[in-house]
Structures are given as C-alpha cells and as structure tokens.
Amino acid sequence: SNDLAGEVFKADNINISEAIPGELKNICAFVDPSALRGSDYTAAILSAKDNDNNYIILDTLLQNKGTYDEIAKRLEEWSRSWGNIRIYVETNGYIGIEFYEFLQRNYRRLNINSWYSRGNKFERIIAQYGNISDRTKFIQQPNLQICLDQLYDFGQKCEHDDFADCLASSIMLQNFK
C-alpha cells in the first residue's frame, strides 16, 4: 500500500554507477529550497541525459541546516565544473521565491531560472516511478547515500520527501528542455 513509507523505491530498482557516461547533454541543476532550520531539507540535483536518453544524476545535495550561501556555493561549483549550466529553483512557496531572489541579487553569474511545480506532490513523484527505476543512473558520489536513504523511505506518510520530489522535478525538467 502507498500508505507505508518505503514501499515505493527499493535499492534493487535503483541503478548506481561508478562511471559518468562519455557523452552528456542538457546538464542542468534543480533546487527545491527549504528554510534550512532543521526540518525540511533543501534538495538539489545536477542532472543530464546520455545518448540513449537515460537520466544521469551527476551530483546531489540534501541539507536541512546552514545558509543560502552554502547552497549557492555548491551551485557555483557545479557551474564551474560543468560550464554555465542552467539552474532551476522551485518557486512554489515563500521560501522558494526568497531563495530565487537571493541568488538573483548575490550570485548574478549563475544562470538562475524559476520553476513552478504543478499538481499533487505525491502523484508527481509516483508518475516518475518508471523513469526513476528504469531509465535513471545515479553516479556514485559522497552525498548520494543520504539522498537514496531518503528516497527509500519515501511513501505517502513519510517524514521527508524532499529528495524524491527534487528527483521527480529533475526528470520532468530533462523532458521539458
């Protein structure tokens, strides 16, 4: 049942890879900001597509304490490493708008765009189940395990769905662009 946390995504249907595919296209980042006050997590994902149109999760961030500057510095690292990537910030609520405006004011070199997520969050995530389990490769990196732990806990009544939501939005973004 979808009421049970952890009944959706399981380790055996998540594809983790050590190697980054040679040819990547549409490298971009998606950020779902939080207040960073110890409850909700800010989730960010650096994603791309390979030549077979698989989704490649190159890097991740999941943090529920700290500062907007810490998140922005990570986005700057991604931009430096991968070229001036487009960065999409979910601006559904006050926090998203505040973070988006913070980046616009203080990190003008970054290519910042706003993104508005529509519909029910749980349904948005479930709609990407096939893409996540069949067509997504997660590149092994230091932040991956904490993100996957949150993904494996995902369910209708789970405590934190921030990474699952960010992942679903990243895939929608890859399809949209």
Tens digits of per-residue pLDDT, 98-156? 999 999 999 999 999 999 999 999 999 999 999 999 999 999 999 999 999 999 999 88
Which residues are within 8 A (CB) of 45 and not within 5 positions of it... i.e. 6 or more apart? 29, 30, 57, 59, 60, 61, 166, 167, 170
Model pLDDT, residue 163: 97
Model pLDDT, residue 34: 97
Model pLDDT, residue 77: 97
Q: Give the pTM.
A: 0.95
Three-state secondary structure along 60-123?
EEEEEECCHHHHHHHHHHHHHHHCCCEEEEECCCHHHHHHHHHHHHHCCCCEEEEECCCCCHHH
